[in-house]
Amino acid sequence: MITFVIDGKSLEVQEGRTIIEIAREHGIDIPHFCWHPKLSVSGNCRMCLVEVDRSPKLVIACATQATEGMVVHTNTERVLSARKSVMEFLLINHPLDCPICDEAGECKLQDYAYAHGIGYSRFDEDKVHKPKRVELGPHVLLDTERCIMCSRCVRFCDEIAHKPQLTFTDRSDRVELTTFPGEQLDNPYSMNVIDICPVGALTSREFRFRARVWEMSATETICPGCARGCNMYTWVRNNEILRQTPRYNPAVNEHWMCDHGRLTTFPHVNAETRIKSPFIRKEGELVEVAWDEAIARAASEFRVYRKNEIGVIASAHATNEDLYLLHKFSRDVLGTKHLAVVPHVVPGDEDQLLIRPDKAPNAHGLLSLGIVDAYDRTALDALVKRIHEGQIRALYVVEEDVCAIPEVAAAMTKLDFLALHATTENETTPQADLIFAASTFAERNGSYTNFQGRVQRIRPSVATLDLDRSLDGFAMSRLDRAGTAFDRWGRGQKRDARPTWKIIAGIASVMGFKYKYQTAEDVFHELSSAVPGFRGLDYRKIGTTGTMLNAPKEMTVRT
Pair 115, 76 in one domain: no
pLDDT of residue 473 exceeding 80, the answer is: no
Same domain, 298 and 387: yes
Write the pLDDT tens digit of every residue in 352-362.
Answer: 999 999 999 99
Nearest to 233 by CA among 205, 271, 274, 195: 195
> pLDDT, tens digit, for every residue of 535-558?
999 999 999 999 999 865 444 444
**Sequence-distant (≥ 6) Cβ neighbours of residue 100 within 8 angstroms:** none
Band the pLDDT of 476: cuts 50, 70, 90: low
Amino acid (one-letter) located at 154: V
Question: Per-residue pLDDT tens for 160-216?
Answer: 999 999 999 999 889 999 999 999 999 999 999 999 999 999 999 999 999 999 999
Q: What is the pLDDT of residues 245-298, one digit of tens each?
A: 999 999 999 999 999 999 999 999 999 999 999 999 999 999 999 999 999 999
449/417 same-domain check = yes
Instruction: With CA atoms as reference, report the closest residue to 358 among 315, 420, 314.
Output: 315
State the Cα–Cα distance between residues 379 and 357, nearest whole angstrom.
Answer: 21
Domain identity same for 294 and 420? yes
What does the DSSP 8-state code read for residue 236? E
**What percent of the chain is modeled with pLDDT above 70?**
93
475 located within any domain: no
Kindly write down the DSSP assignment for every residue of 10-33, as one continuous string: EEEE-TT-BHHHHHHHTT-----S
Q: What is the pLDDT of residues 524-534, one digit of tens each?
A: 999 999 999 99
User: Which CATH number is 525's domain given?
Assistant: 3.40.50.740
Residue 489 · residue 240 · CB < 8 Å: no
244 falls within a domain? no
65 with 45: CB under 8 angstroms?
A: no
Can you give the residue range of the structural domain that contains 311?
279-470+482-548
Residues 122 and 29 both lie in one domain: no
> pTM of the entire structure?
0.92
Residue 139 and residue 175 in one domain: yes
Among 91, 106, 132, the domain boundary falls at 91
Confidence band, pLDDT 50/70/90 cuts, at residue 403: very high
Question: What CATH number has the domain bearing residue 12?
Answer: 3.10.20.740
**Per-residue H/E/C for 495-541:** CCCECHHHHHHHHHHHCCCCCCCCCHHHHHHHHHHHCHHHCCCCHHH
Q: Which residues pair with 358 in a beta bridge?
A: 345
What mean pLDDT do residues 84-101 have?
92
* Residue 265 within a domain: no
In a domain, 236, yes or no: no
**Which is it for strands 202-204 and 140-142: parallel, antiparallel or unpaired?**
antiparallel
Closest-CA residue to 185 (of 135, 227, 147): 135
Q: Which of 91, 115, 142 delimits the end of a domain?
A: 91
The sign of the CA dihedral 217, 230, 227, 455 is negative
Instruction: Identify whether 262 is part of a domain.
Output: no
pLDDT of residue 468: 59
pLDDT 10s digits, 426-464 = 999 999 999 999 999 999 999 999 999 999 999 999 999
For the domain that residue 197 is a member of, what is the CATH number? 3.30.70.20
What pLDDT digit, counting tens, does each position of 42-83 carry?
999 999 999 999 999 999 999 999 999 999 999 999 999 999
Same domain, residue pair 454 and 349? yes
Considering the domain architecture, whether residues 77 and 113 belong to the same structural domain is answered as no
Q: Are residues 80 and 102 in the same domain?
A: no
Helix (H, G, I), strand (E, B) or coil at 327: helix
486 and 352 belong to one structural domain: yes
Encode 57-80 in three state secondary structure. CCEECCCCECCCCCEEECCCHHHH
Strand partners, 282: 285
Which pLDDT score is estimated for 146? 95
Interatomic CA distance for residues 525 and 476, integer angstroms: 21
Query: For residue 503, is it within any domain?
Result: yes
Q: Residue 559 above 60 pLDDT?
A: no
What is the per-residue pLDDT for 490? Answer: 43
> What pLDDT score was predicted for residue 491?
37
pLDDT at residue 244, rounded to an integer: 98
Does residue 87 sit within a domain? Answer: yes
Answer whether residue 475 shows pLDDT above 90.
no
- 332 and 461 belong to one structural domain: yes
Question: Is the pLDDT assigned to residue 484 strictly greater than 70?
Answer: no
Q: Which of 25, 28, 31, 21 is nearest to 6 (CA)?
A: 28
- 472 pLDDT exceeds 60? no
Strand blocks (E) in 182-316: 202-204, 217-222, 231-237, 240-246, 279-282, 285-288, 310-314
Please check whether residue 261 lies inside any domain of the structure: no
Q: Which residues contact 126 (CB under 8 A, 6 or more apart)?
A: none
How far is the C-alpha of 364 from the C-alpha of 336, rounded, in Å?
23
Point out the domain boundary residue: 34, 58, 91: 91
| Statement to judge: residues 101 and 72 lie in one domain | no
Confidence band of 106 (pLDDT split at 50, 70, 90): very high
Please tell me the total count of domains within the chain: 3
| Full strand arrangement of the beta sheet holding 202-204 | 134-135, 140-142, 202-204
How many residues in total does the chain contain? 559
Question: pLDDT value at position 478?
Answer: 57
Sign of the dihedral through C-alpha 114, 116, 119, 120 = negative
